[in-house]
Amino acid sequence: MSENKYKELREKLTYAPKNGYARLTEADKAEMEAYCKRYMAFLDAAKTEREAVRETVRQAEAAGFQPYTDGMAVKPGAKIYCVNQDKAINLAVIGKKSLAQGTRITAAHIDNPRLDLKPNPLYEEDQMAFFKTHYYGGIKKYQWTTVPMAIHGVVAKKDGTVVEICIGEKDDEPVFIVTDLLIHLSEDQMKKPLATGVTAENLNLLVGSVPLPEDDGADSVKLAVLLYLNETYGITEEDFMSAELILTPVAKARELGFDRSMIAAYGHDDRSCSFAALDALLWLEETPEYTAVCCLADKEEIGSMGISGMQSQAFEYFMERLCRGQNVSLMDCFANSQCLSADVTNAYDPTYKEVCDKRNNSHVNAGVCFMKYTGSRGKSGSSDAPAEFVAKIRRLCDEGGVIWQMGELGKVDAGGGGTVAQYMANRNILTLDTGVPVLSMHAPIEVVGKLDCYETTKAMRVFYQDK
């Protein structure tokens, strides 16, 4: 009798994250699988910011969204979007309540850690042609060697034309690779720390090895590459100066594990959250009480700077235009708005448990993770959400049947990381960090749990439906 009493007491008073699969119905599992198929298709179609924006626009327009133009009526039920530099996008479904009463915002980013080409990338050495690269965001440089990669991006020419390039993704196209030193001659390299075993200036992409016929010039292989690029894309070497060319792993998103419970892919950080936000917005069938906003920004991996980053005025410009359409103060709108800042977090990995606080770490398949604060060490770079707002999100999720957990990135002194939450909070918007736990974050191939991806979009659905 007493044993049962204390069992009930423990269930009532204590908390511990649990594997979410025990709570899923068969209907839930079917919807989860359907959602993850859509997500995997998005991953394959949107490996760069520009591609993510293009795919977002395609899906949004199919759901009835229209590009916003000045003077457009901002009435309940209107579905609008605004593209920023082809690398960021804001979308909204106008709610029943006035914008003066605030909005419900999900904010994520669509840039990923990667390698970019330098402005003057092409060179030849010892009859081999290479591209010089500059890594973008935080990476472990050694992970990016010997990985087949594709080239994505645009080349803007002086005459105003923009040439799109995507080569390496199709089975009949060549791929490109950063070479590494063979183990047989790596004695000195293997003695170096991981951080210096491969240096940034050695992340050179191999792109060719055949000289032009009957040409004995010292740069014949380089010239052969330039000839191919000119004949195929109409560009010259100088055009690289105004190009945005990105290298991404060729691998497609794949189910992981005998039970197919996880997804291995490039770009979960932060496609898992940006797609969840987009899908939740498109999921809305009825006009919400509060205007539902989805903000997909660029440049988060390098500090959210620049015209397409979260620190720019682009978000204010979008929201101010909407507020102007209802004769509402932007500051009033922000003061009454609430935001889920959607970015990934570190999933507990038993192989590397020494950097994790297991009690406070997120776990794979335990649901969407909420983080009252992110930041580094002493919460540097964190917005630290008010406790009352955290409690509200807990309530909404419990009422909406969302499986959730609370977490931190890792042990305090081990490091940390930031999100766009601080920039939303700086606008006087109540903001809580929300996201998907990820294994091998910032690696060429990252891993997430299907359940966590699905519960993240469910959390955003109930948030958008807030009354």
- pLDDT, residue 11, reads 83
In the chain, the amino acid numbered 310 is M
The CA–CA distances, whole Å, from 175 to 59, 130, 132, 221 equal 29, 13, 16, 17
- pLDDT, residue 428, reads 96
Residues β-bridged to residue 376: 380, 416
- pLDDT, residue 136, reads 97
Hey, what domains does the chain have and what are their CATH numbers? 15-112+266-464 (3.40.630.10), 114-249 (2.30.250.10)
Q: What is the pTM of this model?
A: 0.95
- pLDDT, residue 2, reads 64
The pLDDT tens digits along the chain (467 residues) read 566 788 888 888 998 778 999 999 999 999 999 999 999 999 999 999 999 999 999 999 999 999 999 889 899 999 999 999 999 999 999 999 999 999 999 999 999 999 999 999 999 999 999 999 999 999 999 999 999 999 999 999 999 999 999 999 999 999 999 999 999 999 999 999 999 999 999 999 999 999 999 888 889 999 999 999 999 999 999 999 999 999 999 999 999 999 999 999 999 999 999 999 999 999 999 999 999 999 999 999 999 999 999 999 999 999 999 999 999 999 999 999 999 999 999 999 999 999 999 999 999 999 999 999 998 999 998 999 999 999 999 999 999 999 999 999 889 989 888 899 999 999 999 999 999 999 999 999 999 999 999 999 999 999 999 99
The residues, ordered by sequence, that sit 6+ positions from 79 with a Cβ below 8 Å of its Cβ are 60, 63, 64, 65, 66, 91, 92, 93, 94
SS3 106: strand
* Residue 463, burial from CB neighbour count under 10 angstroms (0-12, 13-18, 19+): buried
- pLDDT, residue 36, reads 98
Measure the CA–CA gap between 246 and 325, rounded to whole angstroms.
38
Measure the CA–CA gap between 91 and 81, rounded to whole angstroms.
4
